[in-house]
């Protein structure tokens, strides 16, 4: 996006690449952008949506669609995603990430670089994956995470996912940094949890960045600060 575009362009339809900040929900980004359109461009009503949720405890590429471009959201959501995941061994959490405190501890001294690389081979390709109970999936008319926070553990059906690429970037005990390219609907938190089991230990996701969606890269994305600074330079309605 550059200052050569006009306010009307957003109504017609734009896809914005945003580097979502850590701790922000995807809806936080959508809502902030909608407010900024009103403040800087005088657009009082506009459709704004995101093409694929990114958890608050993750950062990285988020596609924001505006105006008529929101009709392409389903198509964009179907593209493969690339992530860089930090998987910490030796402890598991109910949410499979840092949203909840560790509830079980395990031995992890036996885990080696070679062992991790071998385990990754077992996750390559198509498989059935169980979603985290702390997820937005609806079960009996209620979000799974809402039930989990009340102490009720919902039974969620496994889903078919595919890891097309998996690469160990670095391992310094107890944390492995893994790059993965996967299909729509894949939960990296579940992958981290399952990696712990595969290595006869426990694990949780300690950090996550989405680095690509299809051909779109995080290097092309703007921070929220950059987006806000650019808006006042755009021709208003």
Which pLDDT tens digit goes with each residue over 185-235?
999 999 999 999 999 999 999 999 999 999 999 999 999 999 999 888 875
CA angle 63, 64, 65 (to 5 degrees): 115
Largest separation between any pair of C-alpha atoms in the chain:
63
| Residue 100, C-beta contacts closer than 8 angstroms, at least 6 positions apart | 93, 94, 134
> What is residue 118's predicted lDDT score, i.e. its pLDDT?
98
Rounded to an integer, the average pLDDT of 161-170 is 98
Domains of the chain: 7-78+216-233 (3.30.70), 81-213 (3.30.2350.10)
Interval 119-161: pLDDT, tens: 999 999 999 999 887 766 776 667 766 676 766 766 778 999 9
Check if 55 is active-site. Answer: yes
> What is residue 148's predicted lDDT score, i.e. its pLDDT?
62
Rounded to an integer, the average pLDDT of 56-64 is 96
Q: What is the pTM of this model?
A: 0.91
Interval 11-42: pLDDT, tens: 889 999 999 999 999 999 999 999 999 988 88
Residue 57: pLDDT over 70? yes
Q: How far apart are CA 230 and CA 8, in angstroms?
A: 16
User: Among 59, 32, 50, which Cα is nearest to 205's?
Assistant: 59
- Catalytic: which of 2, 9, 55, 194? 55
- Strand, coil or helix: 59: strand
């Amino acid at each position: 996006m550059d200052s050569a575009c006009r306010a009307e362009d957003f109504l017609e339809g734009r896809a914005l690449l945003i580097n979502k900040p850590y701790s922000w929900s995807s809806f936080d980004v959508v809502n902030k952008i909608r407010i900024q359109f009103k403040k800087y461009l005088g657009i009082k009503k506009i459709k704004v949506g995101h093409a694929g949720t990114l958890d608050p405890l993750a950062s990285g590429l988020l596609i924001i669609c505006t105006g008529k471009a929101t009709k392409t959201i389903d198509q964009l959501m179907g593209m493969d995603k690339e992530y860089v995941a930090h998987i910490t061994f030796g402890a598991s959490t109910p949410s499979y990430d840092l949203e909840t405190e560790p509830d079980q501890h395990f031995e992890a001294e036996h885990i080696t670089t070679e062992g991790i690389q071998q385990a990754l081979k077992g996750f390559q390709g198509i498989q059935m994956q169980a979603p985290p109970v702390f997820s937005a999936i609806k079960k009996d008319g209620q979000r799974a995470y809402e039930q989990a926070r009340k102490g009720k553990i919902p039974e969620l059906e496994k889903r078919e996912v595919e890891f097309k690429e998996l690469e160990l970037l670095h391992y310094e005990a107890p944390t492995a940094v893994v790059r993965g390219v996967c299909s729509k609907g894949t939960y990296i938190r579940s992958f981290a949890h399952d990696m712990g089991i595969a290595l006869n230990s426990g694990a949780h996701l300690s950090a996550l960045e989405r680095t690509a969606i299809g051909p779109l890269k995080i290097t092309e994305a703007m921070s929220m600060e950059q987006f806000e600074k650019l808006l006042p330079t755009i021709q208003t309605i």
